[in-house]
A and B are shown apart, each in its own frame.
Chain A
Amino acid sequence: MDKTKIEQQAKKIMDEFLLVLGKIDQLPYELGTERPSSMRKDGATQTDNGFSSRMLENAPKIKDNCIVAEKKKW
């Protein structure tokens, strides 16, 4: 299947999804997940010190520690 066809189909699916979404005025609260605790307390610690270098190593192109996104694509 060629790229254009996939794009057209994806757009169709999204447009149909949008139409359905547009008909919903109000979501019932029951849809939200209920948990006893809903906020993070002070003192939480969880960091991944090696992540930054792994992310930059995997980036296709970096400059001045920034990731270079494809230009003019957005």
Chain B
Amino acid sequence: MVKIGLEIHGYLAMNRTRQKLFCCCPIAADALPNTIVCPRCTGQPGSKPMLPNGEAVEKVLACSLMLDCTVNRKLIFQRKHYDWPDLPKGYQMTISGSYSHPVGEHGSYLDIGIRECHLEEDPARWDPETGLVDYNRSGYPLIEIVTEPDFTSSEQVKLWLESLLTTLSYIKAVSRNAGIKCDVNVSTDHHPRVEIKNVNSIRAIVAAIDGEIRRQHDAVTSGEKVFSHTRSPPDAHGMTHFMRSKETALDYMFIPEPDLPVLHIPEDLLVSIQKTLPEKPHLKVVKFQKMGLSPIDARILASDLALAELFERVAKVINPILAAKWLRHELLKVVNASEKALHELGLDEGYIIELLQMVEKKEVTDQIAAQLLLQLTEKSFSPRAYVARQGLGIISKEDELGVLAEKVIAENQSAVKDYLAGEEKALNFLMGKVMALSKGKAKPDTVKMLLKQRIAHGQNKD
């Protein structure tokens, strides 16, 4: 039997204040090393922390509530002591530890227990091999989410983490680009748990779990005892190595932080955060499937809050399956090509709906609609007015299209012969020619029907 628990560290997205947790130093990922530092975040003698950044506290509260945790409204920062170059004060300020009440506790997310969520400051970036230390990251606000050991496989961990990250991105709590760091605890067949420290991607987490299960199994098979200890993150070959025997809370000598007051969470703050929380992604997936969407379409549309909410509003007026097809395929294609997030494109939702209504009523071809969608990401305009002005409406009159079909047949006799000899591809070639002549305004089905009709007619005449 395998039991896996995670301690997940994520960088809180400080979109509003862009400041560190206990000082006003800006958060800037690409700054030159050691340039966004001050006496506070580098622990200079005599320096004291500022009050914790309110935005960071709000973000941790939002995460705790999203994970159905009970929130403690009276929080005490602690000093967690250790003596490494990445921590110049000699201690990290955190709301975890021996005597703490975490921000959130006893939660649950997708059937996995959440033991606690808390807030802490990040240490510096330190490379033990070269000795280089960059204190820019010192004092970045971090959330730590500790799960119960409820996972039983690496695959389950992977799916759960992907879903968790989507959920946290819904509330813009964790900056996804900054990545996550995970301490992974693995126990097999009731042996003491082994912790793998600082695994920094979902892929590496899966590899670390699978490797540790194998390692424990091999150890037992060869008569060794599995004992509780901490292992290094996987190296380039995916191997973890013994680091130290497992530290206990006592090793960190937690004491309450005397330089910070008790952190009180006002009831009205909690209520206002609760009100802003969106529906969780997995519930949206279920809802979208009930609307008739395939599981994959539902999952993709729910993977981004702006996209999911756009779909929900569009699907109120357009057939949901048609709306899903256009948003999930055509719109995402355009968004990905733009290298921007959907919410950054400033799309006019009303015009998207107007365009899709024209598609639904077959007033424009898919080809023209796709071009208009692309243009809508560049500037705002009424697709209906534009189509009318430019004469881009669908050509449905068969006599108009018939003329085009006959012209194409006359000019491409060898393709006609190939088609008559049984080559379906030749018909597609002819269709492409007619579509091009119509400037994309012809309905492909009508063109196909007309071509077949005209070719057959020509044969009969012969």
Q: Which A residues are within 8 Å of any B CB, using their own CB?
A: 14, 17-18, 21-22, 24, 26-27, 29, 31-35, 37-42, 44-48, 51-52, 55-56, 63-71, 74
Contacts and interface: CB of A to CB of B under 8 A. Distances in A.
Given A46-B24, A63-B132, A69-B126, A39 B253 contact: no
Interface of B: 16-17, 19, 23-26, 32-39, 42, 50-55, 57, 74, 76, 83-85, 98-99, 126, 128-135, 250-251, 253-256, 258, 260-264
A31 B257 CA distance: 10
A51 B52 CA distance: 21
A37 B51 contact: yes
Contacts of A68: 130-133
Nearest to B54: A39
Given A41-B54, A51-B37, A29 B250 contact: no
B102 to A, nearest CB: 14
A65 B51 contact: no
A33 B54 contact: no
B249 to A, nearest CB: 9
A66 B55 CA distance: 29
Nearest to B263: A38
A35 B261 CA distance: 6
Contacts of A44: 19, 24, 50
B132 A29 contact: no
B39 A18 contact: no
Interface centre among B26, B74, B261 (most CB of A within 10 A): B261
A56 B391 CA distance: 67
A38 to B, nearest CB: 5
Contacts, number: 121
Nearest to A46: B24
A64 to B, nearest CB: 7
B113 to A, nearest CB: 23
Given A47-B25, A47-B38, A27 B51 contact: no
B134 A66 contact: yes
Nearest first, the 4 closest Cβ-Cβ pairs linking A and B are A69-B85, A32-B262, A35-B261, A66-B132
Given A21-B253, A42-B16, A67 B54 contact: no
A64 B263 CA distance: 39
Given A34-B262, A41-B54, A47-B24, 11 more contacts: A14-B253, A21-B254, A32-B262, A44-B24, A46-B38, A55-B37, A67-B132, A67-B133, A67-B134, A68-B131, A71-B128
B135 to A, nearest CB: 8
B85 A74 contact: yes
B53 to A, nearest CB: 5
A39 B131 contact: no
Given A35-B261, A44-B24, A64-B33, A69 B52 contact: no
Contact of A66 (B23, B33, B36, B51): B33
B32 A29 contact: no
Contacts of B57: 39
Contact of A27 (B85, B133, B135, B256): B256
A66 B126 CA distance: 9
Given A26-B99, A66-B34, A32 B261 contact: yes
A39 B23 CA distance: 12
Contacts of A69: 85, 126, 131-133
Contacts of B258: 33
Contacts of B17: 42
Contact of A48 (B38, B55, B130, B261): B38
A66 B133 contact: yes
Interface centre among B33, B74, B76, B256 (most CB of A within 10 A): B33
Nearest to B129: A71
A69 B16 CA distance: 34
A45 B24 contact: yes
A51 B25 CA distance: 11
A38 B259 CA distance: 12
Nearest to B41: A51
